[in-house]
Amino acid sequence: MNSRLLESIAGEYGTPVYVYDESKIISQYNRLKNAFGKQEVKLHYAMKALSNINVLKTLKDQGAGLDAVSIEEVYLGLRAGFEPEEIMYTPNGVAFSEIEEAVALGVMINIDNLSVLEHFGMVFGSLVPVCIRINPHILAGGHANISVGHIDSKFGISIHQLRHIQRIVEHYKLHIVGLHMHTGSDIVDADVFLQGADLLYQAAGYFPELKFMDFGSGFKVAYKEGDFVTPIEEIGTKIGESFQNFCKEYGRELELWFEPGKFLVSESGVLLVSVNVVKQTTSTVFLGVNSGQNHLIRPMFYNAYHRIENISNPAGQKKLYSVVGYICETDTFGYDRPISEAKVGDVLGIYNAGAYGFSMSNQYNSRLRPAEVYIRDGVPHLIRKRETLDDVIRNEVDLTLSPAYAAKMTE
């Protein structure tokens, strides 16, 4: 996306605004599909990264399935046109009633808890096929908050509890059709996937009726020049070969699944913000913008780096700025960044904002969530309206305006 197009979008739709390039999403999808060569792979998009219906429909058109982590995401996937069998539902710590609701909808259930697995067996027995999420106890990813395969993780059933899983499966005659693992995000070592794959291959010996294996995701994309990234083609080649060898040993062909989220949508997105103030202190020059952690929490939550450019003055002389938000908390998008000289009213672009940007946004400080714009065939389209104050107060109930409350007070 060039600066001129982004500046025109900011002018037409205002700021802050999320902008996504559909062509980048499609190219990332095709790159991942093609990385496995002749090995067929099924990609289930991790919709928690970005769940706008237009993005979901784009990926459905490419042939993707969905990975949903809540019953609400399941409903959003169905609303976007996905068939129930195209959706993998992978909850964590939910009430069993939510799992029963998902079963009634016909989606694939992925269980990551021994007690839930036993409860599932008591209720459904062999009637409902189910997948099991294994925790491989592999340290992977960067920030601790995105590493989910370690021994203290709340996700998955320990690889060391396979015998216990087997006892539950045999007792309740559960129909186990899939094994799943996800070790974390921002993985740059292909051997991490191979190590996890070997563990799943070994675990498969306990389950003779498998139809698929899901290796999760965690592919790292570049956030700045020279960044280490996941070697997708190397992983595709190595996993493809190892999976084919495993299937020969297992005795039949299984489906190979992955569930990419960030890899597909992160680089497609830019958050456009406007400079409200230029503030010089004794040590720092701040650019205060009309956004904050309420719109993009990743820099604060994960210490994530996002490239920032002055869209209004892309060729200007570089100066060091710290870009901060308007929230009454420490919400710094970037410290000491070389950015083209900026003035009040300039539009800044915060890049790699397509994943876990809008989907993690909130109304802290009673601020409004931004609009979303989708670029399709070079043309921008509004795909989500900017919130208004009515959206903030929509579900509030003012007791002083309630007839029932007034009646009680006069009793």
The DSSP bridge pattern shows strands 332-340 and 371-376 to be: unpaired
Instruction: Please check whether residue 349 is in contact with residue 327, taking contact to mean a CB–CB distance below 8 angstroms.
Output: no
Neighbours of 322 (CB within 10 A): 19
What six digits make up the tokens of 309? 């450019």
Spatial separation of the C-alpha atoms in residues 186 and 228, rounded to whole Å: 9
* Contact between residue 147 and residue 97 where contact means Cβ atoms under 8 Å apart: no
Distance, C-alpha 289 to centroid of its chain:
25
Q: How far is CA 150 from CA 230, 338, 387, 392, in A?
A: 20, 37, 39, 38
Catalytic residues: 328
The CA distance from 358 to 350, in Å, is 13
Residues 289 and 324 sit within 8 Å (Cβ to Cβ): yes
Location of structure tokens 């570049």: 222
Other Cβ atoms closer than 10 A to 342: 21
